[in-house]
Amino acid sequence: MASTIRVRATSNGDITEVQALIQHPMDSGFVKDAKGEIIPPHFIQQLTFEYDGRNVFAADWGGGVSRDPYVKFAFKGGKKGDDLKISWVDNKGATDTTTAKIQ
Amino acid sequence: MKLLSAIPFATTALALAVLTFAAPAPAADTVDPVKDATAFRKFFTDKFPKVKLEDFVNGPYSMNEDLHKQWEEKEQFPPYEFSLEMGKEMFTKPFKNGKSYEDCFPNKGIGVRQNYPAFDEKEGKVVTLELALNRCREANGEPAFSYVRDEMAALTAYMAFTSRGKPMDIKIPNDPRALEAYEKGKEYFYTRRGQLNFSCATCHVQSPGERIRAEVLAPALGILNAMPIYRSEWNGMGTTSRRFTTCNSQIRGVPLTPQDDEYRNVEYYLSYVSNGLPISGPGARP
Amino acid sequence: MNMLKSVLISVLLLAGSAGAFAASEDDYKAAYAAAEAANKEAANLRNQWTTTAATLAAAKKSADAGDFDKATAAAKEAEALAKASSFQATSEKTRWKDLEIR
């Protein structure tokens, strides 16, 4: 199954810039459907970007983040060709993870 | 006594007569789409001299520098990516009877979006891309998709993507019915409706670049070139049909049924007057 | 004096109770039918307002709850809205040209 995580990481030698687009409904649990019933909460709770064995970015999310979240950040270090590992866990216990090469 | 009272009456009658004959004749009764399109384009380029012609297709982003910067960044990782991928998958997958969308369109459906809507001389009506797609499905034994949901948006996203950069190229054949459809589309665009008494022009001709609540309004020139669009407000992808119907309800007018004549005609008009501007779909909007 | 007072009071009381003309169910039904007819005409002109439908629904809701005063008032408002929407459609047939870019 195709990954839900699209990521692009580019390093200029000093700083690595990371962009990621994650496919997830991110239902807050406050929205009603056409029938008037609450759509149950279904959102990513933890998101981590791991480089060289340590987290360079970690997020604890709630229902306030919109569907298909887009994340952009930069971290010091990171070399071209190295791996960057992205993982998420949602409130239903589902997870996904992917590894990208820094360009 | 009678003569005295007759004078003011006569004066009034004369004044009325003068007014009637001096009144300017109603706007040219001949329909001239070429003239319309030229005037339409000139109106917007005059109003926004710093905006490059091809940038008008970017809607609110061409009107506001800060929005433009944010949008440029987002385009590196666009939110419509998922829908676009789904569209490509759907488009290339054959129907149950073995045929596919490729059999319904010229050039297998690749790079043809800029030719829609087109006037179908056999039917005597305007055919939009969405309509053509559903007709293709039904002709091949598949159920039609809703015009306002994800599947139709994904299909049109893919077709738009294969036409990216190509100039909008809508034709009005030398057929009085086509001219009539064009003119009716133009009438719909400028007609005020809904309890809020807005026409399409109220926002997109009179107020582009200005705000309606928190949104920056897009200019009407090139407004359909980016369709379908991923709207952050919708938290998802939406078709032209979806935009027309929601615009109607936002001004408190009961929407018509998607792909009703009025909608097909206004899409025809709006696309024609934007001829020459590049297809930029699928797009992303706030 | 007492007689006058009691007569005065009873007259005032009578006036008070007859002050607001209480709408009957028939009044409501007539008003609702008129509003629906006007809204149908607007539909033929392809120009109904969402608020017309909402007001009609509110009228029906009040009627179902037994409040025919409120229901009739809402139905009359719905009729006015529907008529306004028809007027808009008719006048816009010529007025739209005022907005046209030439």
Sign of CA dihedral B174, B178, B179, B180: positive
The pLDDT tens digits for A5-29 are 999 999 998 999 999 999 999 999 9
Task: Give percent of chain B with pLDDT exceeding 70.
Answer: 90
Domain ranges of chain B: 29-285
Q: Locate tokens 């501007």: which residue?
A: B277
Establish if C53 touches chain B: CB-CB under 8 angstroms: yes
Domain range holding A67? Answer: 5-101
User: Tell me, what DSSP letter sits at residue C49?
Assistant: B
Query: Nearest Cβ partner of B43 from C89, C92, C101?
Result: C101
Whether the pLDDT of residue C24 is over 50: the answer is yes
CATH label, B29-285, candidates 1.10.760.10, 3.50.50.60, 3.40.50.620, 3.40.50.720: 1.10.760.10
Q: Residues B175-189, buried b or exposed e (16+ Cβ, 10 A)?
A: eeebbebbebbbbbb
**Confidence at residue C48, expressed as pLDDT on a 0 to 100 scale:** 97
B247 is catalytic: yes
Structure confidence at residue C85 (pLDDT): 97
Q: Do B74 and A6 touch (CB under 8 A)?
A: no
Collect all residues of chain B within an 8 Å Cβ-Cβ radius of residue A63: none
Task: Give mean pLDDT, residues A36-41.
Answer: 95
pLDDT at C10: 57
The length of chain C in residues reads: 102
Amino acid, single-letter form, for residue B70: Q
CATH number of the domain within which A34 lies: 2.60.40.10
* β-pair partners for A17: A10, A74
Q: How far is CA A52 from CA A55, A78, B70, B168, in A?
A: 8, 8, 31, 49
Those residues with Cβ within 8 angstroms of residue C40's Cβ, 6 or more apart along the chain or in another chain: none
Cβ <8 Å between B232 and A66: yes
**Lowest-confidence region among B7-11, B76-80, B105-109, C6-10:** B7-11
ipTM topping 0.85 = no
Element (H, E) at B82: helix B81-92
Q: H-helix or E-strand containing B243?
A: helix B240-250
Q: Which helix (H) or strand (E) holds B230?
A: strand B229-231
Kindly determine whether residue B82 and residue A20, on different chains, have CB atoms separated by under 8 Å. Answer: no
Residue C18 has what pLDDT? 43
Name the average pLDDT for chain C. Answer: 87
More confident call, B84 vs C4: B84
pLDDT digits (tens, 9 = 90+) for C43-92: 999 999 999 999 999 999 999 999 999 999 999 999 999 999 999 999 99
For residue B248, CA distances in Å to B60, B188, B191, B255, C92 come to 19, 12, 12, 5, 16
pTM of the predicted model as reported, rounded to 2 decimal places: 0.85
Chain segment B177-207, per-residue pLDDT in tens: 999 999 999 999 999 999 999 999 999 999 9
CA distance B4 to A102: 98
| B35-61 average pLDDT score | 96
Please give the average per-residue pLDDT across B42-54, as a whole number: 96
Q: Which residues of B touch C48 (CB under 8 A)?
A: 253-254
Place of tokens 């297998």: B108
All residues at 6 or more sequence positions from B166 whose CB lies less than 8 Å from its CB, including other chains: B111, B113, B114, B278, B279
Maximum average pLDDT range among A34-38, B126-130, C25-29: B126-130
- The answer to whether chain A touches chain B by having 3 or more C-beta pairs less than 8 angstroms apart is yes
Tell me the chain C residues in contact with residue B195 when contact means C-beta distances shorter than 8 Å. 49-51, 81, 84-85
Pick the closest to residue B241 from B111, B145, B125, B139 (CA basis).
Answer: B145
